[in-house]
Amino acid sequence: MASGGHRRRGTGPVRPGAAGRRPLRSPPVKTAIHSAAALLAGVSLAVTLWTGLEERSTALAFGLLVCVGELCRWTGARVREAAPLGAAGALSYALLGADAGQPSHHGVTQVVTVVLAASLLGSVPHTARGRGPTTDHLARRVLTVGFTAVCFQPLYNQGSFEEWGGPAYALMLLALLTLTALCDCVLAAALARSRTGWPFGPLLRDELRGLLGIGSAVCATGAVMALAVAVVGLWALPVFSLPLLLTQLSFKRYAAVRTTYRQTIASLARATEIAGCTPAGHARRVAELSRAVGRELGLTRPELAVLESAALMHDIGQLSLVDPVPAGATADLPGAEQRRIALLGGAVVRQTGVDSAVAVVVERQADPYREQPVAARIVRAVNAYDEKVRDTGPGGPLRALEELRLATAGDYAPEVVESLARVLARDCLTLPSAG
């Protein structure tokens, strides 16, 4: 731990908006991934410029498909694959063995060059609006397409698949795409770990779950495109792009519904502030810091969504009180009064039509921590922390953490308090040395 001479910047409570989202001091994994992608892209571009493009019409058609996919990318929703059509087109080009029955001769370097150039070209309008793809996205695209092409193109050009029948060949393509998707999940989780500092295991689990949605559609479309072009030619590309575009539209509508749902919860959470029951920004701070602590504890994405909603609405029971709690501070109330307010809040949440799991967390936030679900333990500890550091000086966060640690015997879960301390430490709060 740091020495006692170090102090947190500022005089107010820790800014939860940045908690748990600061990059690691030394991200060697991210550097290695970006370096590998840059090296592969540079070598591929140099080789392609030296040897020239093979089958230019085919390269142009797949490049146009990838470019259109990038132009249609999602810019607002938090999804695993922002440009599914571009990803499917890139993978199908990497797996292309024949064009209308005629063997193709493009290699790994041409695949990487065409995909990278098309991705960059399709990203120009988004970049001009400040919504362009990140270097993480481009690095993943280059490495995954390069991996697929390296596994397939050399073997195909050597005639290794000539004896494979139709079903066996199709299954081989799907197996290769599945392996590629798994590698992409590892890359995405590693990059997220380097960027946020969150545990790798839950991040990887979230990425793997994403494969069951748009990820599976991308893999299936990539394989079908490669097989169809091999039989009927490039006319198959627009035909088999349409289902994926419709799927993308459905996912965008679902994302819009989820956004509206979150906005509704946020509006309900502000009701306590508008009524003067709680200080401004309290619910938002508790929600953001609770989500960071949940990440630290390894909660999955659905569990984090429930946790965030419950944290936003954890004080809504105060709207039912005749006499408001001074400054909305419930952490120091008697246990029976805390439980009464929590039950009132749960009843209000159930009437709003919000997920019943959110109501359960709100109802049980005042129970003894050994009987609480993990989300309720987090909300209780983070709420108490935010109340204790309110209007305090530079030493307030440290004193609040010590008070929470001293109360772990009966009020707060020790693992939650320690996770909270780690999250705050990443936000420039240094703890005093034990010595």
Task: Check residue 167 and give its pLDDT.
Answer: 82
**pLDDT tens readout for residues 289-312:** 999 899 888 888 889 989 999 999
Please, what sign has the CA dihedral across residues 51, 57, 63, 66? negative
**pLDDT tens readout for residues 9-49:** 333 444 444 444 444 444 788 899 999 999 999 999 999 99
Provide, rounded to the nearest whole percent, the portion of the chain with pLDDT above 90: 27
- The larger pLDDT score, comparing residue 80 to residue 268, is at 268
C-beta of residue 395 within 8 angstroms of C-beta of residue 7: yes
Single pTM value for the model: 0.73
Task: Check residue 100 and give its pLDDT.
Answer: 80
C-beta of residue 324 within 8 angstroms of C-beta of residue 318: yes
Assess whether pLDDT exceeds 70 at residue 195. yes
Residues pairing with 103 in the sheet = 98
Task: Check residue 132 and give its pLDDT.
Answer: 66
Distance (Å, whole) CA 428 – CA 18: 10
Task: Tell me the average pLDDT across 272-279.
Answer: 81
Task: Check residue 89 and give its pLDDT.
Answer: 92
Task: Check residue 25 and give its pLDDT.
Answer: 46
Out of 96-100, 258-262, 377-381, the most confident range is: 377-381
- What does each C-alpha distance from 399 to 191, 392, 404, 430, 432 come to in angstroms? 35, 10, 9, 12, 10
Calculate the CA dihedral of residues 277, 279, 283, 285 and round it to 10 degrees.
Answer: -170
Assess whether pLDDT exceeds 80 at residue 392. no
Task: Check residue 201 and give its pLDDT.
Answer: 83
**pLDDT tens readout for residues 118-151:** 999 988 888 888 776 678 889 999 999 999 999 9
Out of 8-12, 260-264, 417-421, the most confident range is: 417-421
Distance (Å, whole) CA 380 – CA 388: 12
| Mean pLDDT score of the chain | 82
Out of 34-48, 245-259, 270-284, 286-300, the most confident range is: 34-48
Provide, rounded to the nearest whole percent, the portion of the chain with pLDDT above 70: 89
Task: Tell me the average pLDDT across 386-401.
Answer: 80
